Amino acid sequence: MQPVIITPEPTADPLDLVITEEVTLNGKRAFRKGHRVTAADLETLARLDRPIHAVCLEEDDVHEDDAAIALAGMIAGEGLEQRPPVQSRVNLNAARRGLLRIDPDAVTRLNLLPGVAIFTTIDRLPVDPGHNVAGAKITPVSVPREVLDGAREIVRSLGHPVVTVKPFVPHTVGVLATEGLSEKIRGRFEAVVRRKMEWYGSEVLRFVYLDEAEAVAGTMRAMIGDGADLILTAGGNTIDPLDPTIRALPELNARVVRLGAPAHPGSMFWYGSANDGAIPIVNLASCSMYSQATVADLVLPWVMAGEAVGDED
């Protein structure tokens, strides 16, 4: 692109020039940076009391709006809606409820390209439709076409989208509690669990409250046999090697994947799986505590989207 100065009485045709500064007339904005001059602008240009800066785009230059549209289209996977450009920024909004997935390394590589600015919220965030999750922007008024070619090659080499919203998978949920509770606390606990599961499009199979440690394995086995593909447990003591729920896991061909979490509340949280990882088991700490937000609420969106959860997570 070549720099140009547009005077109030231009000596050359200013059509298709791109203005590179904010321009005001009588105290009001006349043109934004990046505005492409059209025939409708000629009268306003003639009324300006000073020259303004612009550029003439060359054949290989791509205007900021067009480039941002192209970039947003490159990075967007399923479950996203691309919005129209506003000042060279194209937002990507969630088009469905689900789990936001972002490739942060790819975002970094793209942002190293000259003039490119890709921004996102955090990876593995549960989102609702309309949630702005990412976007693309061009910082100058145009970029060479080779910049877009470079971005396209980065995305092509990944083999997966840079940004996507994975839908939540409906689950049938069995809930097992091993702590004594009053009717009031039970009612509150069940209402919270049902509400949270319904948000994910899942349903509770049943709640079971146990006083006998020997019944834990049989109860969980019965839940799985009746169609539960997710088990939530509440109560217990993760630091007690005789905790009945943890001791019951080997009888179900189940194991603890992670014991404890670096979060508060949630240091007593544990996560396991049964049937060779096919059925997640998520510990909710105490029933009364689950009415608040806990570390389980950070892990459940991953589980509900069908993602494998490992110790490193």
Helices 104-111 & 64-75 angle (0-180, nearest 10): 160
Cα–Cα distance between 313 and 301 in angstroms, integer? 13
The CATH number of 61-167, from 3.40.50.1100, 3.40.30.10, 1.10.760.10, 3.90.1170.30, is 3.90.1170.30
Query: Please, are residues 230 and 282 in contact by the beta-carbon 8 Å criterion?
Result: yes
Phi and psi, residue 150, nearest 5°: -65, -40
pTM: 0.86
Name 233's bridge partners. Answer: 176, 283
* Sheet containing 125-127: order of strands: 125-127, 98-102, 163-167
Q: Which CATH architecture has domain 172-304?
A: 3-Layer(aba) Sandwich (3.40)
Name the strand (E) or helix (H) holding 282: strand 279-283
Closest CA to 268 of 302, 243, 231, 249: 243
The tens place of each residue's pLDDT in the chain, 313 residues long, gives 788 888 877 656 777 789 889 898 888 898 888 888 888 888 888 888 889 898 888 889 999 999 999 999 999 999 999 999 998 899 999 999 999 999 999 999 999 999 999 999 999 999 999 999 999 999 999 999 999 999 999 999 999 999 999 999 999 999 998 877 778 888 888 999 999 999 999 999 999 998 777 888 899 999 999 999 999 998 766 667 777 888 888 888 888 888 777 776 667 778 889 887 789 999 887 655 555 677 888 899 999 999 988 777 6
Tokens of 111: 């942002």
Please state the domain extents for the chain.
Answer: 2-56, 61-167, 172-304
